[in-house]
């Protein structure tokens, strides 16, 4: 929501990723005004450490991903 923008910007300025998380990069989807972070987290607790500070502003969308080659190899075994 637009009224949350100042609070959100302040949170992102101060936010530190947990030590156990490997941040690949942060991106802005141009034209959508959505920020995206790509990271490698070892477990669900690490993901909660990232999403929890933003709980009052909106719903974080987490989409687990695999390298395409790994996913194809796994699917071949199914």
Q: What is the pLDDT of residues 5-55, one digit of tens each?
A: 788 788 888 899 999 999 999 998 898 878 889 999 999 999 999 999 888
Q: Is 21 exposed, middle or buried (0-12, 13-18, 19+ CB in 10 A)?
A: middle
- What's the domain range around 69? 2-76
Confidence at residue 25, expressed as pLDDT on a 0 to 100 scale = 95
DSSP string over 28-46: EETTTTEEEEEEE-SSHHH
- Long-range CB contacts (< 8 A, 24+ apart) of 42-46? 46/18, 46/20, 46/21
The maximal CA–CA distance of the chain, rounded, in angstroms, is 48
Confidence at residue 13, expressed as pLDDT on a 0 to 100 scale = 87
Greater pLDDT, 6 or 2 = 6
Domain count, the chain: 1
Q: What is the pLDDT of residues 52-78, one digit of tens each?
A: 988 888 778 899 898 999 999 999 999
Confidence at residue 77, expressed as pLDDT on a 0 to 100 scale = 96
């Amino acid at each position: 929501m637009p009224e949350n923008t100042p609070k959100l910007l302040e949170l992102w300025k101060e936010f530190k990723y947990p030590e156990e998380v490997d941040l690949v990069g942060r991106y802005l989807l141009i034209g959508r005004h959505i920020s995206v972070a790509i990271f490698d987290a070892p477990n669900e607790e690490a993901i909660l450490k990232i999403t929890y500070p933003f709980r009052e502003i909106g719903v974080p969308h987490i989409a687990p991903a695999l390298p395409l080659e790994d996913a194809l190899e796994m699917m071949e075994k199914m």
